[in-house]
Amino acid sequence: MSSPRLPKVAGIDSTVPAPPHTAAPLPGVPSAAPPSDAALPPGVLIQDRLASWVSDLTTLHELTERLIKTDSLDGALREMLGAGAALVGASRGMAVLEPADGLGPTSTIGLGLAHADLGTIETVPRGSGSYGRLLDGLPEADPPDADPPGAGLPGNSPAAPRRPARVPEPIAIRDVRTEEGLDPRHREVAARLGYAASYALPLATEEAGRLGAAVWLYDEPAEPDERRRHLIGLYGRFATEHLARLLQVERARARVATVAEELLPSRLPRVPGVRLAVRHLTGPQGGGDWYDALPLPEGALGLAVGSVSGTGPSALAAMGRLRASLRAYAVMEGEDPVAVLSDLELLLRLTEPARSATALFAYAEPAQRRIVLAGAGHAPPLVVGDHRTEFVETSLSAPLGMLTCWEAPSVELSPAPGETVLLYTDGLLRRTGDATDRAFARLHAAAASVPRADRSDPGAVADHVLRTLLPGGLDPAVEGEDVVLLAARFE
């Protein structure tokens, strides 16, 4: 009769014979130590190891799922710091974003450290601090090998490829008090802030290059074991790739915002009898919302707001062309807003038949407190004063580029002394995330709630409306919509 066999685990035969040189314990003599892992059946060891791997993979999956939901550099850095602290067993830390290409942005985020604490840490000489050594020791990428003369030209050998950047190893300082080679200032700062050890990880990969570094601080002398190092290394590589994607988005957003600002007036004109203020918020993709204010002959003033369909560079270019055209028409026939928009409609239909736009143009005479305006598919202005808060009744019209023949009658308005006229784009309403009628009601309520002390300042009026209507800033659920709010207060 054959002896019973231990069960197999994952297809591995768990019956492993004992090595012949192992001697049996003497009878009557107790073991010198409790049973170790070596005394357990091999199947149990494999099961424990598999369970540990599954637990680690589950932890990494949960942490990376939380990280991937962040959509800003600041949010990703904070999430990475918190997750990293849990993985390495620390309670405090800091992350430094400092891309190697020098194009920014740069920032420093702390975990369990006040702003003053971060400043104190930055007084440590860069070459002595672990994160500083990582930042200075990792170039953006290694330079290519020397090319022979004429390399890369047709018929010759290709140029040497650019080698990816080498990623340095993490730096562990088990005990700041006894670590050799540390600057005295480093030990002084550690004693002041109450940390005794640190573990620094480069935020870098061979593909992304150097983005920054993270360092976690221990209250007692310690360092992560091999398992924790492996986990934080895997998580750090994933976090770096996510940060690299967010960095590209942030830079693209900054470029779009810069182009949009360059296409808009650099400053508002000063015209006697009226004070102007504008607020312009650009979405991540860069919409085509615009505004303008230009002085006209005989002390008049032209005010305009509008929105071009589409997002991105093409919408910005169309917005620039439309605004420039409207300025020209306003100088020639600004006294008749209907004629200005009719010319703009004809131009848009002939030059860009696949695009539509909304626009509102107002011809203002501040000395007489008189405004003549016309709109094409645009939301009506809002008058804010001590005795009234009401929308201007304008005639309905389709947007520019959507009719073969467009013309709508103009509307004349006489604001009282001290009243402010608000011109805005549809993005202000859409960014609320509400239905159109409710968005209009919320805008009216926000304007009516402007404190009396702020009504003499058009900038304060615009800020109050924005804070009340969009308390959390631009709604991220609504993409491709800019916000323009132009306020004109008549004396």
Q: How do the domains of the chain map onto residue ranges? A: 48-141+164-250, 264-490
Residues 134-145 have a mean pLDDT of 56
Which has more confidence, 112 or 400? 112
> Rounded distance, CA 292 to CA 179, Å?
63
Kindly state the DSSP code that residue 117 receives in the 8-state scheme.
H
Q: What are 434-490's pLDDT values in tens digits?
A: 899 999 999 999 999 999 999 999 999 999 999 999 887 665 555 557 889 999 999
Token pair listed for 385: 């004063």
Residues 368-375 have a mean pLDDT of 93
Nearest CA among 376, 59, 482 for reference residue 232? 59
Looking at the predicted structure, is the pLDDT value of residue 405 above 90? no
* pLDDT on residue 15: 41
Highest mean pLDDT among 11-15, 152-156, 433-437 belongs to: 433-437
Looking at the predicted structure, is the pLDDT value of residue 145 above 70? no
Q: Which residues pair with 275 in a beta bridge?
A: 489
* pLDDT on residue 164: 53
Q: What are 236-283's pLDDT values in tens digits?
A: 999 999 999 999 988 887 887 777 777 888 889 999 999 999 998 876
CATH number of 48-141+164-250: 3.30.450.40
State the pLDDT confidence band at 1, using cuts at 50, 70 and 90: very low
> Rounded distance, CA 289 to CA 286, Å?
9
* pLDDT on residue 288: 82
Sheet containing 357-365, strands listed edge to edge, beginning at the edge strand earlier in sequence: 287-296, 300-311, 357-365, 370-376, 411-413
Tell me the one-letter amino acid at 294. L
| Superfamily holding 264-490 | PPM-type phosphatase domain (3.60.40.10)
Looking at the predicted structure, is the pLDDT value of residue 21 above 60? no
* pLDDT on residue 146: 45
- Least confident span in 63-72, 100-109, 403-412: 403-412
Looking at the predicted structure, is the pLDDT value of residue 116 above 60? yes
Residues 195-205 have a mean pLDDT of 93
Looking at the predicted structure, is the pLDDT value of residue 348 above 80? yes
Residues 358-365 have a mean pLDDT of 94
Q: What is the pTM of this model?
A: 0.63
**Mean pLDDT score across all residues of the chain:** 83
Looking at the predicted structure, is the pLDDT value of residue 111 above 70? yes
Looking at the predicted structure, is the pLDDT value of residue 402 above 80? no
* pLDDT on residue 291: 94
Kindly state the DSSP code that residue 106 receives in the 8-state scheme.
-
Q: Which residues pair with 288 in a beta bridge?
A: 308
Residues 163-184 have a mean pLDDT of 84
State the pLDDT confidence band at 154, using cuts at 50, 70 and 90: very low
SS (H, E, C) 443-478: HHHHHHCCCHHHCCCHHHHHHHHHHHHCCCCCCCCC
* pLDDT on residue 37: 54
Looking at the predicted structure, is the pLDDT value of residue 128 above 50? yes
Q: What are 50-79's pLDDT values in tens digits?
A: 777 888 889 899 999 999 999 889 999 999
| Domains 48-141+164-250 and 264-490 alike in fold | no
* pLDDT on residue 403: 62
State the pLDDT confidence band at 371, using cuts at 50, 70 and 90: very high
Q: Which residues pair with 413 in a beta bridge?
A: 371
Residues 30-45 have a mean pLDDT of 56
